[in-house]
Structure 1
């Protein structure tokens, strides 16, 4: 009986040891994936700075570059044929769990901006991609970091954030509007949902930029940020 107990104890110890080894390997693998992904996007930033804002020779889906102070957002933006491919592929079109920062495939992709331009990115645990977007839910942080720069099709656009919230709804996904009243309703609904309360006027002439990522709690819940176009530089 004692021999059986000893064997069971040894077996349990072996199973525990195997579990620790497996967990350690998994942590190492994930950590390495983060490093590889960060390295690739670091290379792209160097290309972007050196090559006069042109990365289309690397990926024909390239449409611009997004920069946001305070949240380490400095990434190329792509526009694909659907909203699935760049969830699992990086800017080089390689399989990558970090994916890419991408526009909603319904966007026109023309120099004439849509009334609402939507951009997605993963909520990465290390804060990369759109992993820090939830910081804009804090009013104090927002007051110091309220602007977004988007270089889009060789023109620079500056946007000021006017709403930020978490939601499981999908009405924020609207890009085109049938009339002025529908657009104003969209804007007012965004403001009512917002946990920050900036006093920014968004009238019927405005263009909106919407950023979205998953929350860390729920795959169906999104952090959504809305910003108004305030400046355009050619």
Structure 2
């Protein structure tokens, strides 16, 4: 009876261990898949994916090649010294590029797009440009950084490429507004009173601004993205088009460290390889634990 009882106990013990191992593997697999899936979204949103297509007034060949892939591309937007450096698109509605990338492929990160009602030549008094707020400095994630006064002061310029040439953008303010603020999110009619009311509405919602006077003769550019700092909130970086072009500062060369290079190489290894390695390690640990348990049982 004792041997039978011990045998049953061993079977139950092995079953419990196996069940626990399977549960651990399932949780690890799910976690790894979620990390992999999230990483895929961030990779799809990386501005570096489009570096080969960045246009200049002297050379737009690559840009035109991108337009052949997707004719909805009308220009390019850059905020100097940030990671905002993307193709600019416009569709017949504002839903298309919420989950479609610049090449026309389905993507949760979407694309940077012009409000469907705005004129693509930026002739409106206020032109609205939308992009998802994303972590890791993707899409319009860096717009949220302008809520910091120091960061805002250190990043006054941007660039808009359209109609075959570059145009400067001089940023005036970072405002926070409710998504249902119809006055802010409506294309302003070509009327002096309406323009003045629009400028006043900007002032009402200012978080940070610089000493710069906006007039009814200006053409405003609004970079709009979500914020969690208020219910239905939007961070809006407000600038004005200028005839002057503001080149980016030369980025310092980062030689990196041994740790940086190791980290870069590790991130290049597919997630499935790490998962397989983890499973192998867990199986080895389980085998060793079983052998140790067996030896203890034999000694007893």
TM-score, normalised on structure 1? 0.86
Q: CA deviation at 1:37?
A: 4.2
1:179-214: CA deviation from partner (whole Å, max 9, x where unpaired): 212211111221231111312111111110011011
Runs of 4 or more, structure 1, over 4 Å off, are 5-13, 216-219
1:76 aligned onto 2:66:
no
Paired residue for 2:241? 229
1:70-127: per-residue Cα shift (whole Å, max 9, x none)?
3211111001111111111111100111111100011122x36111111011111121
1:1-234 superposed matches below 5 A: 11=19, 14-38=22-46, 41-49=47-55, 51-52=60-61, 53-54=63-64, 55-109=66-120, 111=121, 113-169=123-179, 170-171=181-182, 172-177=184-189, 179-216=191-228, 220-231=232-243
Kept after mapping to 2: 8 A contact 1:156/1:232: no
> What is the CA–CA distance in structure 2 between the aligned matches of 1:151 and 1:139, rounded to whole Å?
27
Give the C-alpha shift of residue 11 in structure 1. 4.5
CA shift digits 1:126-153 (9 cap, x unpaired) = 2111011111111211111111211122
The runs of 5 or more residues in structure 1 that have no matched partner are none
SS in 2 for 1:133: helix
SS in 2 for 1:56: helix
Contact 2:172/2:209, CA 8 A, preserved across alignment: yes
Q: Which structure: larger Rg? A: 2
SS at structure 2 position matched to 1:124:
coil
Of Structure 1 and Structure 2, the greater helix share is in 2
Are residues 37 and 128 of structure 1, via their aligned partners in 2, closer, same or farther at CA, if it must alter by over 3 Å? closer
